[in-house]
């Protein structure tokens, strides 16, 4: 009785680790069968005693066959299964040599063995069986070759039906993405309860969900110059919505277009993009307040260097409907765009990229950077 209780406990552990907490019936196993996810098949140990052929017929009546342990994981599962039914009986499984060499009942070649010491032996014993679970250790639960006419227990296997995927429980929420203000946090789940198998459907829905989070700590009011201290003078900064703009001062070296691009990128930004009239007006007013008495052209982040007359902003987007070119006249060899000083920076002026002039950088206003 103690031995049988131990095997019952072992079987419970095996089932819980392989069935993903689903019942065998919910994943297409006949009543009384246990599911092994390792093989995607269902198994049942019968303690009623049959000959090998009678056992095979019983399994076939369930649209199955005698169980075939093709690897150590499956073999251990079958041992636990049969010992949960009886520890003092032999049990047939689907292996015999009645047609010559040892083969599985489906005709497959023998690729894994767990014979007891000295087995197989007698040439008249052509059907494989498990030794009982209470026999001496050198024989216990190992394979034996026995007479096919002997009546013993047996183990059937059955191909499980389609297993549709099921979601696990949601995991814990992640830490908030910010330490002040409003951020977001995520949590995940997996399609493993059970995992889809045997052509079953995947889980319907999302692996991850997001919600807003508030650490209840107000963010300090920071200026753009606080976020980008490498750009000076600080008074040349301006903020529009969630973007910081900075214009180079008279004391800064004038740069060609490529140099200006690299300079803005070195501070985590790009040359300014002007995609609507509101941004245009904001930058015009910014330059009016910071440029001094002498007006200059300023590089912005627009060019057609990749394809003639197909302008692209430095953030990778194509030029949209908003465009303020001084003229629609051809501008061959003038591939880089500047704000035109003669129009108080209300118009765009295609220029030679090698020209040297001040520039306007644009960076994200992100207090959590």
Under 8 Å CB-to-CB from 169, ≥6 apart: which residues? 189, 193
250 token code pair: 């008279």
Cα–Cα dist 156/36, whole Å: 13
Q: Coil, strand or helix: which one is 94?
A: strand
Where are the alpha helices (H) located in the chain, listed in sequence order? Answer: 2-18, 52-61, 72-85, 224-227, 257-266, 277-290
Query: Closest by alpha carbon to 303, among 325, 278, 327, 281?
Result: 325
C-beta of residue 362 within 8 angstroms of C-beta of residue 243: yes
CATH of domain 224-364: 3.10.100.10
303-356 pLDDT, tens digit per residue, is 999 998 899 999 999 999 999 998 766 577 789 999 988 878 889 999 999 999
pLDDT < 50: residue spans in the chain: 1-22
Cα 109 to Cα 248: distance, rounded to the nearest angstrom: 79
358: part of which helix (H) or strand (E)? none
Q: At what angle do helices 2-18 and 72-85 cross, to 10 degrees?
A: 140
pLDDT at 368: 64
Residue 296 in 3-state DSSP? coil
Residue 36: Cβ within 10 Å count: 24
Domain boundary assignment for the chain: 2-159, 163-219, 224-364
Give 201: exposed, middle or buried? Use CB within 10 Å, 0-12, 13-18, 19+: exposed
271: Cβ contacts below 8 Å, ≥ 6 apart: 260, 261, 264, 299, 300, 301, 302, 314, 359, 360, 361, 362
pLDDT digits (tens, 9 = 90+) for 134-187: 899 999 999 999 999 999 999 999 888 787 889 999 999 999 988 877 889 999
Q: Which fold has domain 2-159?
A: Mannose-Binding Protein A; Chain A (3.10.100)
Fold of 163-219: TSP-1 type 1 repeat (2.20.100)
Separation of alpha carbons 206 and 44, rounded Å: 36
Q: Same fold for the domain at 2-159 and the one at 224-364?
A: yes
Q: Which own/partner contact pairs does 214-217 have at CB distance under 8 Å and 24+ positions apart?
A: 214/176, 214/181, 214/182, 214/183, 215/176, 215/178, 215/179, 215/180, 215/181, 215/183, 217/179, 217/180, 217/181
Q: Which of 84, 114, 117, 88 is nearest to 102 (CA)?
A: 114
Report whether 48 contacts 91 (CB < 8 A).
no
Residue 363: which H helix or E strand, with range? Answer: strand 360-364
């Amino acid at each position: 009785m103690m031995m049988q209780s131990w095997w019952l406990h072992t079987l419970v552990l095996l089932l819980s680790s392989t069935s993903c907490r689903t019942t065998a019936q919910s994943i297409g196993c006949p009543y009384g069968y246990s599911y092994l996810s390792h093989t995607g098949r269902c198994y049942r140990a019968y303690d009623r005693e049959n000959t090998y052929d009678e056992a095979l017929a019983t399994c076939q009546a369930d649209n199955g066959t005698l169980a075939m342990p093709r690897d150590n994981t499956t073999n251990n599962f079958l041992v636990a299964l049969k010992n949960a039914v009886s520890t003092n009986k032999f049990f047939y499984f689907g292996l015999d040599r009645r047609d010559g060499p040892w083969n599985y009942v489906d005709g497959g070649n023998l690729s894994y063995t767990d014979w007891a010491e000295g087995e197989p032996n007698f040439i008249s014993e052509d059907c494989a069986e498990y030794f009982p679970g209470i026999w001496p250790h050198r024989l216990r639960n190992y394979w034996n070759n026995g007479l096919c006419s002997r009546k013993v227990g047996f183990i059937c296997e059955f191909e499980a039906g389609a297993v549709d995927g099921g979601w696990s429980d949601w995991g814990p929420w992640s830490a908030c993405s910010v330490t002040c203000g409003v951020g977001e946090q995520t949590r995940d789940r997996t399609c493993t309860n059970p995992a889809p198998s045997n052509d079953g459907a995947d889980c319907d829905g999302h692996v991850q969900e997001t919600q807003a989070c508030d650490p209840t700590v107000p963010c300090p009011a920071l200026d753009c110059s606080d976020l980008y201290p490498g750009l000076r003078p600080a008074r040349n900064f301006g903020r529009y919505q969630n973007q910081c703009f900075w214009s180079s001062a008279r004391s800064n070296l004038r740069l060609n277009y490529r140099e200006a691009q690299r300079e803005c990128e070195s501070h985590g930004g790009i040359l300014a993009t002007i995609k609507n009239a509101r941004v245009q007006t904001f930058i015009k007013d910014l330059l009016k307040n910071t440029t001094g008495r002498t007006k200059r052209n300023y590089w912005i982040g627009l060019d057609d260097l990749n394809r003639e007359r197909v302008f692209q902003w430095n953030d990778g987007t194509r030029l949209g409907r908003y465009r303020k070119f001084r003229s629609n006249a051809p501008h061959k060899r003038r591939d880089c765009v500047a704000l035109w000083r003669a129009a108080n920076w209300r118009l765009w002026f295609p220029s030679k990229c090698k020209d040297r002039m001040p520039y306007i950088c644009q960076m994200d206003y992100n207090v959590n950077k």
